[in-house]
């Protein structure tokens, strides 16, 4: 198993889209906030622009998190970076911009680990894996990331192109064989939806040498999640699981 988080024992706190509960998701201000709240890594999402650049944004369309309209992939980088990606969250974030993937990596290098979610569907980007690896190489960050996706074909493709990059499979169901799911994608980590997480699933992952870290939004029950023995948690509010971890450590659990 390749562990993008290094030798320090977990559980690791991953700031979901930075600190999406406190700042406009997938922006530099959100990533800065996540680190300030002692996240061990920041998570982000990537989509390509019409001129072949990777930008950090969750949706395939612009409407929800910017004042733009239409698909990310039909706009140039200049067009996307002219948009306001902050006011939708709060007026105090007016004119916060959509960052490029390379911009975030250069900021993160030497500062934090990065969890990269490759977005696929309903629009599919046939070369996004190669594009992502090229940017990782430009930033010299292959060993500092965990690449994840709900598209397990993309996960397997990344591993085949660059075996040294740590990868993980996202999924939302209670699958029959989660270890088999990871093995089929040649992945290093399981990323299940947290309400369906069980201690048995965690034990099976560890027995197979896999890292396991559930995902979810602001409603997560971190006491339950951490009690299962997971290696990582994703959090919109990174300080919430950090507080629970410290309470459990103080109690000797």
Which sequence positions are flagged as catalytic? 16, 58
Tokens of 55: 């930008």
DSSP codes joined into one string, 125-169: -TTHHHHHHHHHHHHT-GGGEEEEES-HHHHHHHHHH-TTSEEEE
In whole angstroms, what separates CA 223 from the centre of its chain?
A: 21
Instruction: Give the whole-angstrom CA distance, residue 226 versus residue 253.
Output: 10
Beta-bridge mates of residue 148? 117, 168
Instruction: Give the whole-angstrom CA distance, residue 165 versus residue 145.
Output: 7
Instruction: Give the whole-angstrom CA distance, residue 207 versus residue 179.
Output: 9
């Amino acid at each position: 198993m390749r562990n993008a988080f290094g030798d320090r024992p977990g559980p690791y706190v991953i700031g979901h889209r930075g600190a999406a509960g406190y700042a406009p998701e997938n922006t530099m201000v959100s990533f800065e906030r996540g680190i300030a709240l002692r996240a061990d890594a920041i998570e982000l999402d990537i989509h390509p622009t019409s001129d072949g650049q990777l930008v950090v944004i969750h949706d395939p369309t612009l409407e929800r998190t910017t004042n733009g309209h239409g698909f990310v992939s039909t706009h140039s980088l200049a067009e996307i970076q002219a948009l306001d990606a902050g006011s939708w969250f709060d007026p105090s974030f007016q004119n916060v911009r959509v960052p490029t993937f390379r911009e975030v990596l250069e900021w993160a290098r030497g500062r934090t680990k990065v969890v990269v979610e490759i977005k696929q569907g309903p629009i599919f980007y046939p070369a996004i894996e190669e594009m992502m690896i090229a940017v990782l190489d430009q930033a010299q960050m292959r060993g500092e990331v965990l690449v994840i996706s709900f598209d397990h074909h993309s996960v397997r493709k990344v591993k085949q192109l660059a075996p040294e990059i740590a990868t993980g499979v996202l999924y939302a169901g209670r699958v029959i064989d989660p270890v088999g799911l990871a093995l089929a994608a040649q992945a290093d980590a399981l990323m299940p939806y947290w309400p369906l997480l069980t201690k048995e699933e965690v034990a099976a992952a560890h027995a197979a040498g896999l890292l396991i870290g559930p995902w979810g939004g602001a409603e997560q029950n971190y006491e339950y999640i951490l009690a299962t023995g997971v290696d990582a948690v994703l959090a919109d509010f990174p300080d919430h699981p950090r507080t629970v971890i410290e309470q459990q450590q103080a109690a000797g659990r």
